[in-house]
Amino acid sequence: MTRMNVEEQEKAKTKMKLNGSLMLIEALKAEGVEVIFGYPGGAVLPLYDELYKAGVFHVLTRHEQGAIHAAEGYARISGKPGVVIATSGPGATNLVTGLTDAMMDSLPLVIFTGQVATSVIGSDAFQEADVVGITMPITKHNYQVRDISELPRIIKEAFHIATTGRPGPVLIDIPKDITIAEGEFDYDQDVHLPGYQPTTQPNHWQIRRLVEAVSQSKRPVILAGAGVLHANAADELRQYAEQQRIPVVHTLLGLGGFPADHPLFLGMAGMHGTYTANMALYECDLLINIGARFDDRVTGNLNDFAPKATVAHIDIDPAEIGKNVPTKIPIVSDAKAALQELIAQQGKPADNAAWLAQLDEWKRRFPLYYEPEAGTIKPQKLIEMIYEMTNGEAIVTTDVGQHQMWAAQYYKFNRPHRWVTSGGLGTMGFGLPAAIGAQLADRSATVVSIVGDGGFQMTFQELSVIQELQLPIKIVIVNNQALGMVRQWQELFYDKRYSHSLIPNQPDFVKLAEAYGMLGLRAKTEAEAADVLKQAFAINGPVLLDFHVRADENVYPMVAPGKGLHQMVGVKACEESSQ
C-alpha cells in the first residue's frame, strides 16, 4: 500500500459517520489520551457503553472529587491534559472544587459532563443542573453541545484551549441525546479562534530593557513560579541564573523549577518561606518575576513588598502583569521563550558580589530550624527522613496545611515535576487522589502522598483505587489529631480558643488500611518512624503509615496576616555555619 493510500484512509476515517459517544472516543484517541478518570451515571451511560466496547483505560474513582484531583496530579506530572468524565447534576457539581483548584493553579484539564436531553433542559428534569452557568467563573472556557455536528470541533478546541497559553480546565457539557445522535466525524480540521491568540514570544524591546536593568542592578533576585514548570523551562532558568549570577527564590508551586541544592537558591518565599528568601525580596533593587502571579501568600502586605525594587514580570497571561504589584518591565511571553532570549542576549551581569555575600550570610545565620525532642516525632524530622529514604527523587503530593508547609520546607526538590500540591485554592483532600494521577503519569516513580489526618479523611475512599490498581504509593499521615494550621492560627491570633479544630477521636488508620487490603504501619517515636519507613519503602506496593507527631508543633518562620515579608516570627539566629 502506498503512502498516499494510507493518508487517504486516515482522512476518510476522520470523516466517517458516528454517534456522539464514538466521536468522543475517537477524538480522545486522536489527542493521545492515555487515561480517563471518571464516574458513570444516567446521562453518560451511552458514553460508558462505548467505552466498554472500546477498551479505553478508565479509572473508576470512588467520588468525582477524587477523579478530578487525580486528573490534576496526572496533568502536573505528565504535562498532558487530565481527562475526566462525570454524569449530570450531582456528578458535575462534585467537580466544582477540583475545577476551581485547577483554574487557580493553571492545570490543563478537559472535563466531559453529562447533561439531560436537550428537549428537557430548563425544565428541572431529574439530575439537571446548569453546569455551564455554575462553572463559567471557574473554567478557562466551557461549552454546551446542542448540535452533533459541532461536537468534533468543540472537543478539538477544548484540548487546544486547555493546553496553550496559560493552561487551565475546559468543560464540555453534553446532553444525553447528543451522545446517541449520529453525525459526520471530521477531526481533521484546524482550530481557528480569532479571539484566542496567546502571545508566546517576548517583545524584543522589553527584553533589552530587562537586560539593561540587570546590568545596572546591585541586588537582583528572581522569583520563579509554576509558569517555569508549565513551560518546561527549568534548564533555561538555571542557565540564565548562572550566566547572570542572580539568586533565585521559589513560590510554593514553583518548587523544583530550580535545584534546591544550588548555591544561588534561597528557598521558598512567602508566609512560611525562609528568612533569606523573604529578606531578598524585601531588600532587592531588581525583582524578576518569572511565571508567578504575586499571590498574597507570597507578597504579604503589598505596601511592604519589594519596596526598593524595579519590578520586571514575565508571564504568559497579560492579565497577571500589574494586577497586584506595579510592574516597570512587563514581558508577556512563554517563560521558556523569554529565558532563551535573555540567555542569547548575554547581557552584562550585575555588580552584585556584596549582595551574594549578604545572602550567603543570611543563609548561614538564619536557616530553617526546629528543636529536636526525644520520645516523639517532630514533623520536620519526619520529612527529612522521607527525603533521605527516597534520595530526594520521589514525587511528593500533599494535602493543605501544616504538613504541606513542612514538606515544602524540608523536602529539597532538585528536579522539576516532582511536587504536586494545591496552592491557590488550598484544597483539603487533594493529596491522596492526586497521588493516583501522579503515579499513573510516571509508573516507575516513587510516589509519596503526605497528608494530614484531617484532609485524608475527606477523600480516603480512593484507597480502594490504589489497592485495585496496586499502585505502590506510600501514604504518610502526619497525625497531630487536629486541623493543624487552623489550630496554629487559633493559638496565635484567637487566644488559644480551639473552636472545632481538635480531633481527638480518630479512626484506627492501620485497621482502615487493612480494611482496604493494604499494609498499615504506625509510629510514635523517631526510632519507630525510621523502622516503619524502611519497611514501607522495601515493599513494592501500597503502604499507609500513621505517624503520631508532636501535636502542638507550629510551622515557622511565619509572616502574620497584614505584615510584610521582613516581619517574620519564629526566626532563630544560628551561629554555627555548619547549619
Q: pLDDT at position 577, please?
A: 38
List the catalytic residue out of 15, 34, 80, 127.
127
Q: Is 294 left (phi over 0), alpha (psi -120 to 50) or beta?
A: left
485 belongs to the catalytic site? yes
360 and 385 assigned to the same domain: no
Share of the chain above pLDDT 70, in %: 97
Residue 576: inside a domain, yes or no? no
Q: Rounded to an integer, what distance in angstroms lies between the CA atom of residue 532 and that of residue 546? A: 10
22 and 107 assigned to the same domain: yes
383 and 361 assigned to the same domain: no
Q: What's the pTM value of the predicted model, to 2 decimals?
A: 0.96
537 belongs to the catalytic site? no
Residue 6: inside a domain, yes or no? no
Report residue 228 as a C-alpha cell. Answer: 517555569
Burial class of residue 81 in the structure, from the number of CB atoms within 10 Å of its CB (0-12 exposed, 13-18 middle, 19+ buried): buried
In which band, very low, low, confident or very high, does the pLDDT at 16 lie, cut at 50, 70 and 90? Answer: confident
Place of cell 475517537: 26
126 belongs to the catalytic site? yes
468 and 498 assigned to the same domain: yes
In which band, very low, low, confident or very high, does the pLDDT at 7 lie, cut at 50, 70 and 90? Answer: low
Residue 565: inside a domain, yes or no? no
211 and 180 assigned to the same domain: no
List the catalytic residue out of 271, 485, 518, 568.
485
Place of cell 543563609: 363
Closest CA to 409 of 556, 217, 212: 556
Last residue in a domain, options 300, 334, 365: 365
CATH code, domain with 415: 3.40.50.970
Residue 374: inside a domain, yes or no? no
269 and 318 assigned to the same domain: yes
Residue 566: inside a domain, yes or no? no
158 and 276 assigned to the same domain: no
Q: Does residue 272 contact residue 558 with C-beta atoms inside 8 Å?
A: yes
Place of cell 462525570: 86
pLDDT (tens digit per residue) in 482-501: 999 999 999 999 999 999 99
List the catalytic residue out of 31, 50, 64, 283.
64
114 and 211 assigned to the same domain: no
Q: Does residue 571 contact residue 366 with C-beta atoms inside 8 Å?
A: yes
Backbone angles phi, psi at 499, to 5 degrees: -80, 105
How many structural domains comprise the chain? 3
Stretch 381-400: mean pLDDT: 98
Last residue in a domain, options 185, 212, 238: 185
Residue 71: inside a domain, yes or no? yes
Share of the chain above pLDDT 90, in %: 95
In which band, very low, low, confident or very high, does the pLDDT at 504 lie, cut at 50, 70 and 90? Answer: very high
Last residue in a domain, options 158, 185, 212: 185
197 belongs to the catalytic site? no
List the catalytic residue out of 8, 126, 218, 348.
126
77 and 127 assigned to the same domain: yes
CATH code, domain with 324: 3.40.50.1220
List the catalytic residue out of 140, 156, 176, 381.
176
409 and 529 assigned to the same domain: yes
220 and 79 assigned to the same domain: no
In which band, very low, low, confident or very high, does the pLDDT at 574 lie, cut at 50, 70 and 90? Answer: confident
Q: pLDDT at position 141, please?
A: 98
Residue 199: inside a domain, yes or no? no
Residue 238: inside a domain, yes or no? yes
For residue 314, give its domain range.
204-365
161 and 241 assigned to the same domain: no
